[in-house]
Amino acid sequence: MSEVDERYELGSVEISRDEIKRRVVDLAADIEREYRGQEVTLTGVLKGAAIFLSDLAREIGTTVDVRMDFMAVSSYGNSATSSGVVKIIKDMDTFVDGKNIIVVEDIMDTGLTLAYLREILRTRNPKSLKTCVLLEKPERKKVDSEIEYRGFTIADVFVVGYGLDYAGKWRHLPDIWSLSKTRQ
């Protein structure tokens, strides 16, 4: 049976909504300190980072001119593991040249997606290019990709909720949950 055919169910809460909220407030404060008096474009990687980006943007104070944009990429499909192949499905609408760009990602698994996006965006001559990642799985990392703003480091478990999904399910949950295989 392939991983796409396997059935999963919710396991346990790995990171609570309260822990997420506190960390998002801290990340926003870090961004605000660094970009006070400047414009920054938070560029969310769809669909997983949409909730995180929205909460992060709302927590950044009025001293930073926050713009938002999105990119859509695919590297998972309906699998619980990354395929390693990154495809841009939707590019940014913002002209990047001379702008402060922060790529906002839900999870860094292998690092391939972030490394690819940073390489693409670097060629567009941003004033600055940084990365804000909600979750990092160091055990799965295949390539080094810079993370200037890190939410949580987690073990190599598949997680859903707070924007993260498995085959389109569980993205809406306010906490981050582990998945476990359904007993058959």
Per-residue pLDDT of the chain (184 residues; tens, 9 = 90+): 344 446 889 999 999 999 999 999 999 999 999 999 999 999 999 999 999 999 999 999 899 999 999 999 876 555 555 555 778 899 999 899 999 999 999 999 888 889 999 999 999 999 999 999 999 998 877 887 789 999 999 999 999 999 999 988 999 999 999 998 876 5
Report yes or no: 121 and 129 within 8 Å, Cβ to Cβ: yes
Class of domain 16-174 as given by CATH: alpha beta
Say what the pTM is. Answer: 0.88
**Per-domain residue ranges for the chain?**
16-174
Which residues are known to be catalytic? 109
- Alpha-helical (H) ranges within the chain are 17-35, 50-59, 112-122
Give every CB contact of residue 150 below 8 A, 6+ residues apart in sequence. 132, 133, 136
State the helix-helix crossing angle for 17-35 and 50-59, rounded to 10 degrees: 60
Give every CB contact of residue 126 below 8 A, 6+ residues apart in sequence. 96, 97, 98, 99, 100, 101
> In whole angstroms, what is the distance from residue 154 CA to residue 96 CA?
31
Give every CB contact of residue 168 below 8 A, 6+ residues apart in sequence. none
Helix (H, G, I), strand (E, B) or coil at 89: strand
> In whole angstroms, what is the distance from residue 47 CA to residue 74 CA?
10
Report yes or no: 48 and 61 within 8 Å, Cβ to Cβ: no
Distances (CA, A) of 163 to 81, 120, 159: 17, 24, 10
Residue with structure tokens 């008096």?
Answer: 37
